[in-house]
Amino acid sequence: MDNKKIYLLMIMSTIFWAGAFIAGKLSAPYIPAFTLTFLRFSLASLILYFVVKKKEPTQFKLSKKDIPVFTFTGIVGMFGYHVFFFNALKYTTAINSSIIAATNPLVTAILCIVFLKDKINSKRVFGIILSFVGVFLTITNANMSILINLSFNKGDILMLIAVLMWASYSVYSKKVMQYYSPLILTYYSFLFCSIFLIPFVIYEAPWRLIGTIPYYSYIASIYMSIFPSVIGYLVQQMSIKQIGPSKTAIFVNLVPIFSIILSTLILRETISPVKFLTALLIVTGVYICQKN
């Protein structure tokens, strides 16, 4: 598969990830965080089980040396990221957490330089910074008073840890990708995450809430399992293997653009002219990084 196809698939994945924010708004108020995460990844694991059995039956069985690998990717990349993300939102604002999350390409690039000896030049740095500025202006609606009033608290620190978790997962995936296919790595990461979540789900006792959960929350959960998880993460692993984690991470900055579009179409939220200008900055930054 050539790079152009990977770029198109990653853009498609960012659309799915943007849709996950919409789905989250329709399900998070009614389904506890650990349970929602478990539903997302357990269903995704079930779907991938049949795909793996058909596409790569010879690589399906695990050996002892595989367990530490998937324990890391499942706990750090899936469980760890979501735990710190959900807990961060208890103490900080959505604006702060979104801005901090947008530093993911920068953190990933730094980890790639340190651990993978990745090369990065001035053009790529400029593209990352330009895209980050676009994300920041998108989130703040270019209101500089928000920047002046920003303050860091416990939630901000937790969100930084969440970003570090995700970036570590991306870089580690690149390192072990020579031994596993994207399909196998994605499947077992989901499976190990689901298993690790079981005691936390039992603690939340979601069965007591079944009668209060609206039908569209279940539909939203199914959407998150199939499109952002199965398809989105699988494409991401393919992209990490082919173009590397730092260039893959920059696509995350496209998520706010598609979130704005989907929020306007589905949730009937209004969009301002500023959003179009900031979206242009994000796309330009992504283009510079990938073209380079």
Query: What's the first-to-final CA gap in the chain, in angstroms?
Result: 19
The tokens for 233 are 């993460």
For position 158, what pLDDT does the model report?
Answer: 86
DSSP 102-126: TTHHHHHHHHHHHHS-----HHHHH
Q: In terms of Cα–Cα distance, which of 20, 27, 22 is closest to 218?
A: 27
Summarised one tens digit per residue, pLDDT across range 16-45 is 988 887 787 778 778 888 898 899 899 999
Burial (CB < 10 A; 0-12, 13-18, 19+), residue 138, is buried
Summarised one tens digit per residue, pLDDT across range 102-159 is 777 778 888 888 888 777 777 778 877 887 787 777 666 677 776 677 666 788 788 8
- Which pTM does this prediction carry? 0.78
Averaged pLDDT for residues 197-214: 91
Q: Please report how the helices 215-224 and 33-55 are oriented relative to each other, as an axis angle in degrees rounded to 10.
A: 50
Which residues have a Cβ under 8 Å from the Cβ of 115 and sit 6 or more positions away?
171, 175
Residue 280 sits at the vertex; the CA angle it makes with 288 and 143, to the nearest 5 degrees, is 120
Neighbours of 146 (CB within 10 A): 16
For position 291, what pLDDT does the model report?
Answer: 64
Determine the Cα–Cα distance for residues 6 and 18; give it in Å rounded to an integer: 18
**Domain locations along the chain:** 3-291
